[in-house]
Chains A and B, each alone.
Chain A
Amino acid sequence: MQVNRREFLGTALGGAMGSMARADQQTLVPKADAMIYIWLPGGMAQTDLWDPKKFTPYTPGMKGSELLGTCERIPTSADGVFLGKGLENIASVMNKGAILRSLSSETKFGAVHLKAQYYANTGYLFPSGVKVPSIGAIVGRTLGHRNPRVPAYIYIGRDVDTSDEEKLFISEYIGPGFYAVNYAPFMIPEPAKGMATLNAYAGISMDRLDRRQKLMESLAGLGQQDLLRSQKGGDYMKVMAEARAMMDSPVKRAFEFAKDENPETIAAYQPEIAGDQLLDKSYFYGNRFGNGLLLARRLVESGARFIQVEYQYGPFKGFDMHESGQQRMVEMKKQIDRPIAQLIRDLDERGLLDRTLVVIATEFGRTIASAPAAGKEPDGFAERNTGENLVIENEKMYGFHGHFSTCSSMLFFGGGFKRGFVYGKTADRHPMEPVENPVALIDAYATIFKALGIRADTNYVTEGRPVYVTNNGKGKPVEALLG
């Protein structure tokens, strides 16, 4: 069920529209109605995953420039498209997706993950001078709800109640920015627990909840009639009623995957490695990630518009690989390969992939480290380095440890994108920068937006000026990627 934009804006589902200015008329024909954004922060080494190069096994004392790939290349279901070994499941569905291998940023983020993540999630460089919305808020606001009782923007797999400064910073850039709370994500830190506030608080029965709500309405009706007659007070009461209605929404059913799905399906979404098998046993979100993707599929079925699923970022954890990169990459592949492939297959089998866009992204790519520090931990912020001066003395140094804003890959499945297709080409030797068709992030954004039917110059006004969904409204879709 789709609510059109006019109706959506007309209802107060999102509450009072405040000082919102109308976006440009939506004139594009959407090819996708929903989007799942698989966000894998840390800086994925594209050379070991989506853009594999010649495998050069570890030999003690090898030069950095000799290290081209840490794994074999494997063929995929798409003719002539290869992935890194360890992605056999994704390889089997590669004929349903496209790889952009030449995503390139002129801004070099150096050591700073958070700035690059801010950029990747909003399309704006930090500090941007205004609280910019994340891509989920942009899509949620511009397209509105698919089902009025299902949140438009849902975020899975990130802890939020925190006083940790990095996490607080991140909470802002995955949020609605100046679009404000109406377009904030519904946060689902742990898919198995669902969304706590869609259930009555512990010890409160639904009867009591409704009695309490009625009492509030009656009280307001007695001494607060002036407020109820006002625009703001009226909106407030409407939103309280809508929140109550959402408690009976189909979205709640989506969280009950453990009960509803057969065990084989649930198993197919799980990682192929357990937390206690990892080199670093302290950091494992594999099951949460897999369940998150399963939940995402169910949310799309329920009518959600935009779902972001994160493998939770932690400095020097997950895909943020500095030491022992090769071994850790093998472990990360075992955590993402099966669940992602299962999501694509599942959506496809249910006939949802045509109208659902799945995007896989990270904040930057990786390259060879520039120089070892203290004989152990290579300097990670190399950019255009050839690896000539790096001697790989031990296996901990073997792998792709340098941050590489110059190049990374982004993947698109379904939702109007070409299938079994690769766009852009990178050098086979260091620095492995784009040699054909480099694409800027705002153009990748514009391409996603076009598939969803959103013009790149759509804008909303704050502080008396328009802020565009792609910087200055200048994003140009990469037409070659679209089917």
Chain B
Amino acid sequence: MVACSLRLTAVLLSLAPWCFAQQPAAISFTRQVRPLLEQRCGACHSPDSRTSGLDATTSASLLKGGKRGPAIVPGKPAESAVLQYVRGTREPRMPKGMAPLSDLEIQLLEAWIQAGALDDSATPAAAPAKIVAQSAPANPLNDVLFSDADQLAAIRRQVRLAYVPRPPGPPRVAGYSNPIDHFIAAKWRDANLPEFKDPPPAASDSAFLRRVYLDLIGVIPTIAEAQRFVADRSPDKRTTLIDELLARNADYAAHWTPFWEEAIASSDTGVVGGIVRHGDYRQWLFDAFLRNKPYDQMVADLIDPTSPAYLHPKPERQNGDYDVYPQFVLNSSHTETIQTAANTAQVFLGTGMKCASCHDHFLNREWPQARFLAFAGMFAAHDLEVIRCEQRSGKFVAPRFPFDLPGVPTATPADVNSRLHLLSLMLIDPTNARFSQTIVNRLWKRYLGLGLFEPADDYRADRAPSHPELLNWLAYDFMEHGYNLKHTIRLILTSRTYQLQYDPAREDHFDVSNPTQPRYYRSPSLRKLTAEQLIDSIRVAMTQTLDPRARLYLQRKSTDLTRALGRPAARNEVSTARPEDVAVVQALELMNGEEFNERVAQAPLLKENPAPDRLFWAAFSRAPSHAEHELLARAEPLADALWAMFASPGFQYIH
């Protein structure tokens, strides 16, 4: 399919003038006229059946004619008997007793005679076409028109990506193979960091193992998985493991789903207490990640009501008197519309526009209010009024996408579904750089701890990202690979940068009051396990199996523990980040909370009464040191050893 679309791309890029201004083209006797004559006249006027002495199937025999003289006069359609008969101006109308020829068929004959009634059967011809009366030449766009949705999306990507200049490749730095590492090491070199000459160490096998499990499927490995990996001597075992985990589609999807549920404020119930929230996208999201749907397509499917994969949630009764249709795009009021636009900008363009919904953005000159309202208008059925801090102005703003994209129609459709369709195409368009940069930045932040631009929801044109060339290159590479999330994830996870050992002395920090402080990625940043990662990992450690039905993200119930760990009770607003703070209320839940203590104490693994070393493997995916072994061996009861491991920072963080 890729080859096909590449060919089509070449065609499409070269055919622009041609498909709109149709030029007169030569008519082929062999491919167009003869099939018509054979089909409609051949029953009576063929070499085998010369009724009235006429064979009507070759140019020469028509010229020769039959009992009533020549059937054609080249260049003179009006004098040609065949046309007089088929038109019925001469009796009997031909084909006799059959349906008359269509206007198109008659026009074809007329044009052929007018052009000299040439016979091209001597020249090599394509296989005889069965289609009759084709009035236009073969058009390569037909391949596009009849391609399926995925092919069409691939073609669109290719055509539109051709407008984007290919960014410079990675700077060459000896000793690295992954392109990411070249970018990162080049910055070390330019900043004269000692790490350029003396690279920081890679993470140990067990640290890498735990990190990559938590990052890709959201849980720690079982003892068997960990021991198998540590014992494996093959040099490419890390890459093999990354590929194996990426191929665990359902576990991979289960780990992504809660992130996106919060990012789009997917709600278990669309309407609660009379409040309309967003629809329930859990299964929809899971399915998209399960089959690794191209990211641009997923976003288009979320926003474009004309997309076949658009989620049309079921209507829900609200107070018994009217129905509502909760979904991500809400636009039944000014407030809903501007919030949908601001949410879309935040999540998919990494751009904070909420300030501009009420007034010109004070902090980011890029966003006057009118620019934002023009964008929001693309989500609405009508132009939006300028309402400045709740004061109506009577002025309205015409809808307009906020970024100029080459070659995109400038007119905005009148009806809201068409607007959303156009909007979704512009949003995901390769020339809309912020779209792809935002998602690759989110991936980077997810796996390295800090984004290439920070905050990841507040891209600022006036603030350079940490590694602008890398960001640009990653985004282009992502687009070039069909917005394939797994491609870019694999690229990041196989880099040495990702696989470096955690080192607090080298770790980067982001401080909003000093946003331009450089980041070097000489060590990943420490990341707190999410509530889902923590609780699901404890279950894996205790049961030595991953039960996909028991994962926390499927649980509607909110508890003291899940809230203390940062899982929201309800997803009322879009959010792309769980706070990583630790607080006393959380520590108390770990220490004395019923849920945490029960989870630890009732572990099946404990009932087997295993050796302390086995517990250590279950929690930390490695063998304990002698000192660690001694400590655990003295623990009484054994459940306390488990509690101590699970409550320790070594378990609570990805490092």
List residues of chain A with CB under 8 Å of any chain B CB: 13-19, 21, 110-115, 125-131, 151, 160-163, 165-166, 168-169, 171-173, 175, 178, 180-182, 184, 186-187, 196-202, 204, 208-209, 211-213, 215-216, 218-220, 222-224, 226-233, 235-237, 239-240, 242-244, 246-247, 315, 461, 463-465, 472
Segment of B28-36, B178-186, B242-250, B585-593 engaged in the interface with chain A: B585-593
Q: Give the chain A neighbours of B355 by CB distance below 8 A.
A: 465
Known A184-B563, A230-B507, A239-B587; contact A172-B570, beta-carbon cutoff 8 A: yes
**Closest residue to B338 on the A side, CB-wise?**
A129
Chain B residues near A168 (CB, 8 Å)? 558, 569-570
Tell me the minimal C-beta distance from B646 to chain A in angstroms. Answer: 9
User: Which residues of the other chain, B, contact A166 by a CB distance below 8 angstroms?
Assistant: 272-273
Q: Does B635 contact A (CB under 8 A)?
A: yes
Evaluate contact between B587 and A243: CB separation under 8 angstroms: yes
> A235 and B572 in contact (CB under 8 A), knowing A168-B558, A463-B458?
no
In the bound complex, residues from chain B placing their C-beta under 8 Å from that of A228 are 649
Q: What is the distance, in angstroms, from B137's C-beta to the closest C-beta of chain A?
A: 55
Inter-chain residue pair count (beta carbon < 8 A): 262
Are B631 and A235 neighbours in the complex by a CB distance under 8 Å? no
Query: Nearest residue in B to A12 (C-beta to C-beta)?
Result: B582
A171-B504 in contact given A15-B582, A128-B573, A163-B556 (Cβ < 8 Å): no
11 contacts between A and B (CB under 8 A): A15-B582, A21-B513, A130-B573, A161-B558, A172-B570, A201-B592, A201-B594, A223-B628, A240-B591, A243-B588, A472-B389
Between B275, B343, B628, B635, the greatest number of chain A beta carbons within 10 A of the residue's beta carbon is seen for B275
- Contact between B594 and A184, CB atoms less than 8 A apart: no
- A130 to chain B: which residues have CB within 8 Å? 354, 573
| Distance in Å: Cβ of A285 to nearest Cβ of chain B | 19
Say yes or no: A222-B512 contact (C-beta < 8 A), given A151-B584, A172-B569: no
Chain B nearest CB, measured from A185 CB (Å): 8
Task: List residues of chain B with CB under 8 Å of any chain A CB.
Answer: 268-269, 272-275, 277, 319, 335-336, 339, 342-343, 346, 352, 354-355, 357-358, 363-364, 389, 455, 457-458, 460, 502-505, 507, 509-513, 526, 528, 556-560, 563-564, 566, 568-570, 572-573, 575, 579-594, 597, 620, 624-625, 627-628, 631-632, 635, 640-641, 643-645, 647-650, 652-653, 655
Partner of A243, one of B269, B566, B591: B591
CB-CB under 8 A from B564, the residues of chain A are: 181, 184
Q: Closest CB-CB distance, A25 to chain B, in whole Å?
A: 15
Q: How far is the CA of A227 from the CA of B504 in the complex (A)?
A: 7
- Does the CB pair A212–B566 fall under 8 Å? no
Query: What separation, in Å, do the CA atoms of A244 and B275 have in the docked complex?
Result: 40
Cα distance A336–B275 when bound, in Å?
Answer: 29
Minimum CB distance partner of B354 in chain A: A129
> Are A127 and B339 interface neighbours, CB within 8 A?
yes
**Of B364, B458, B528, B635, which one neighbours A232 at CB under 8 angstroms?**
B528
Tell me if B591 and A163 are in contact (CB < 8 A).
no
Q: 10 tightest A-B contacts by CB?
A: A464-B458, A180-B579, A243-B587, A230-B504, A171-B569, A112-B274, A114-B273, A216-B644, A197-B588, A163-B557
* Closest Cβ–Cβ distance, residue A161 to chain B (whole Å): 5
Which residue of B273, B274, B528 has the most chain A CB atoms within 10 A of its CB atom?
A: B273
Per the bound structure, the CA–CA distance linking A165 and B650 in Å amounts to 35
* Complex: A14 Cα to B620 Cα, angstroms: 28
Whether B591 lies near A213 (C-beta < 8 A) is yes
Given contacts A21-B512, A171-B563, A223-B620, contact A242 B357 (CB under 8 A): no
Question: In the complex the two chains form, what is the Cα distance from A113 to B268 in whole Å?
Answer: 20
The answer on a CB contact under 8 Å between B584 and A187 is no
Q: By the criterion CB–CB under 8 Å, are A232 and B526 in contact?
A: yes
Complex: chain B residue closest to A22, CB-CB: B513
CA A163 to CA B343, docked complex, whole Å:
26
Q: Nearest Cβ distance between residue B203 and chain A, in whole angstroms?
A: 11
- Beyond the given A175-B569, A463-B455, please list 14 additional residue pairs across the A-B interface where CB-CB is below 8 A: A14-B583, A18-B581, A21-B512, A114-B272, A114-B274, A127-B573, A131-B568, A160-B560, A168-B558, A209-B592, A226-B502, A226-B655, A230-B526, A464-B458
Given known A-B contacts A21-B513, A171-B570, A197 and B591 have beta carbons under 8 A apart: yes
Of all chain B residues, the one with the shortest Cβ separation from A114 is B273
A465 to B356, CA, bound (A): 11
**Complex CA distance for A115 and B273, rounded to whole angstroms:** 9
CB neighbours of B389 from chain A (8 A) = 472
Partner of A209, one of B557, B591, B641: B591
**How many Å lie between the Cα of A281 and that of B568 in the bound state?**
33
Q: Are A181 and B586 in contact (CB under 8 A)?
A: yes
Given A175-B569, A464-B457, CB of A222 within 8 Å of CB of B625:
yes
CB-CB under 8 A from A204, the residues of chain B are 597
In the assembled complex, the Cα of A16 lies from the Cα of B487 at a distance in Å of 35
A218 near B583: Cβ-Cβ < 8 Å: no
- CB <8 Å contact, A235 and B640: no
Q: How far is the CA of A220 from the CA of B352 in the complex (A)?
A: 40
Chain A residues with CB under 8 A of B643: 212, 216
Residues from chain A with Cβ under 8 Å of B277 in the complex: 127
Provide the residues of chain B in CB contact with A246, threshold 8 Å. 584, 588
CB distance from A440 to the nearest CB of B (A): 11
Cα separation A166 to B635 with both chains bound (whole Å): 44
- Establish whether residues B557 and A220, one from each chain, have CB atoms under 8 Å apart when the complex forms: no
A161 CB contacts on chain B under 8 angstroms: 557-560
The answer for the CA separation of A236 and B581 in the assembled complex, in Å, is 9
Question: Known: A129-B573, A216-B647. Contact between A244 and B273, CB under 8 A?
Answer: no
A112-B272 Cα distance, complex, nearest whole Å: 10
Shortest CB-to-CB span from B260 to chain A, Å, is: 17
Considering the complex, give the chain B residue whose CB is closest to the CB of A224: B650
Whether the Cβ atoms of A169 and B570 lie closer than 8 Å is yes
Known contacts A224-B649, A472-B389; decide if A187 and B560 are in contact (CB<8 Å). yes
Contacts of A230 in B (CB 8 A): 504, 507, 526
Which A residues lie within 8 Å of B526 (CB)? 227, 230, 232-233
Cα(A186)–Cα(B458), bound, Å: 32
Q: Which residues of B contact A173 (CB under 8 A)?
A: 572
Please indicate the chain A residues that have their CB under 8 angstroms from the CB of B509 in the complex. 231
- B352 and A463 within 8 A (CB): yes
Q: Are A236 and B274 in contact (CB under 8 A)?
A: no
Q: Across the interface, which residues of B come within 8 angstroms of A199, CB to CB?
A: 592
Contact A215 B644 (CB under 8 A): yes
Residues of A within 8 A of B354 (CB): 129-130, 463, 465
Cβ-neighbour of B352 out of A115, A215, A465 (below 8 A):
A465
With a cutoff of 8 Å between Cβ atoms, the chain B residues found around residue A151 in the complex are 584-585
Residues in chain B near residue A178, CB distance under 8 A:
579
Q: CB distance A244 to B457 under 8 Å?
A: no
Instruction: Please measure, in the bound complex, the distance between the C-alpha atom of A231 and the C-alpha atom of B587, giving whole angstroms.
Output: 17
Residues of chain A with a CB closer than 8 A to B573's CB: 127-131
Residues of B within 8 Å of A187, CB to CB, are 560
B268 contacts which chain A residues (CB < 8 A)?
165
